């Protein structure tokens, strides 16, 4: 029997998006791409991101997280999922320790300190953005990543063009538009996600600046598709907006699932993301899910 069979999971959301949390601490079990995709196919455990907890690798962290997209590929960061894990480790009777208001979670992209706020929301320190072309990464050496040479549509009348590029542990391209609903992101998102200019693919966002402290955002997530919320995309949008002097360094980002509070801190360059979490249900992974998984 697959070692993931009958493992307990939590089904949560960070802002309407689907997050599944699986705790494998204390084991040597590793989730493969086929197994992650199999978990996503079950309606009860379906996810935009699967957050898999392992024993901490750094003495400064409380747990290590592997993050999987719906298609089984791995992500470097997921802000909404990180808030869900912080709740689980601080509130869930089996997974956490009561009263853990501060935790440090670890991913391949680095350490993410988290804080439970008095209003029940969680703040995640997403770290400093990566702004150089080779850090994002991009295929071509752009000196200025506030607007890179990329367009979709006719060369003399492109549908979208000149996005900002930022990495928040995963690559993001942000197109600045007057109306995020004026484009078929479900059609153009896959084309842009897989454009050769993004060697690791990219998250594609449409961003409208409503005011200097308010961005409206719609996101196509690499490996997952249209999503109700993407925390790292919200962070990337505020960083890119501030760099272009379109917004302040602190702003509310409105996504289809609701609002996130983002601050690009001047003192150390870190990006702070604050938002809600919700537990929907808990369950166990059916053995039949893994019948065809490698």
- Catalytic residues, which ones? 78, 230
Q: How many CA atoms lie within 13 A of 69 on its CB side?
A: 19
Structural tokens at position 31: 């989730």
Structural tokens at position 109: 């992209």
Q: What is the DSSP secondary-structure string of 24-92?
A: -TTS-----HHHHHHHHHSTTT--SEEEEEE--SSTT-SEEEEEEETTS-EES--HHHHHHHHHHHHH-
Question: Of 82, 90, 91, whose CA–CA distance to 126 is shortest?
Answer: 82
Q: Are 50 and 68 in contact (CB under 8 A)?
A: yes
Q: Are 228 and 19 in contact (CB under 8 A)?
A: no
Structural tokens at position 81: 């999922």
- Dihedral over Cα of 191, 217, 167, 175: its sign: positive
Q: Are 101 and 145 in contact (CB under 8 A)?
A: no
CA angle 35, 37, 42 (to 5 degrees): 100
């Amino acid at each position: 029997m697959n070692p993931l069979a009958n493992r307990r999971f939590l089904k949560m959301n960070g802002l309407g998006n689907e997050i599944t949390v699986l705790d494998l601490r204390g084991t040597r079990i590793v989730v493969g791409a086929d197994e992650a995709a199999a978990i996503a196919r079950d309606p009860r455990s379906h996810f935009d991101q699967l957050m898999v907890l392992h024993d901490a690798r750094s003495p400064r962290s409380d747990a290590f997280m592997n993050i999987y997209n719906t298609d089984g590929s791995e992500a470097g960061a997921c802000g909404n999922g990180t808030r869900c894990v912080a709740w689980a480790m601080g509130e869930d009777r089996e997974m956490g320790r009561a009263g853990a208001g501060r935790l440090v979670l670890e991913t391949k992209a680095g350490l993410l300190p988290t804080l439970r706020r008095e209003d029940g929301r969680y703040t995640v320190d997403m770290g400093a953005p990566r702004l150089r072309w080779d850090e994002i990464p991009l295929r071509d050496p752009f000196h200025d990543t506030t607007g890179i040479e990329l367009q979709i549509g006719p060369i003399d009348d492109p549908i979208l063009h000149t996005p900002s590029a930022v990495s928040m542990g995963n690559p993001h391209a942000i197109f600045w538009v007057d109306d995020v609903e004026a484009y078929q992101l479900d059609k153009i998102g896959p084309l842009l996600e897989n454009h050769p200019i993004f060697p690791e693919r990219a998250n594609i966002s449409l961003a409208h600046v409503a005011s200097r402290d308010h961005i409206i955002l719609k996101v196509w997530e690499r490996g997952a598709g249209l999503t109700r919320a993407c925390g790292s995309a919200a962070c990337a949008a505020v960083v890119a907006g501030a760099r272009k002097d379109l917004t302040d360094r602190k702003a509310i980002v409105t996504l289809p699932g609701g609002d996130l509070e983002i601050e690009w801190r001047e003192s150390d360059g870190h990006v702070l993301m604050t938002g809600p979490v919700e537990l929907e249900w808990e369950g166990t992974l059916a053995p039949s899910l893994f019948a065809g998984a490698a």
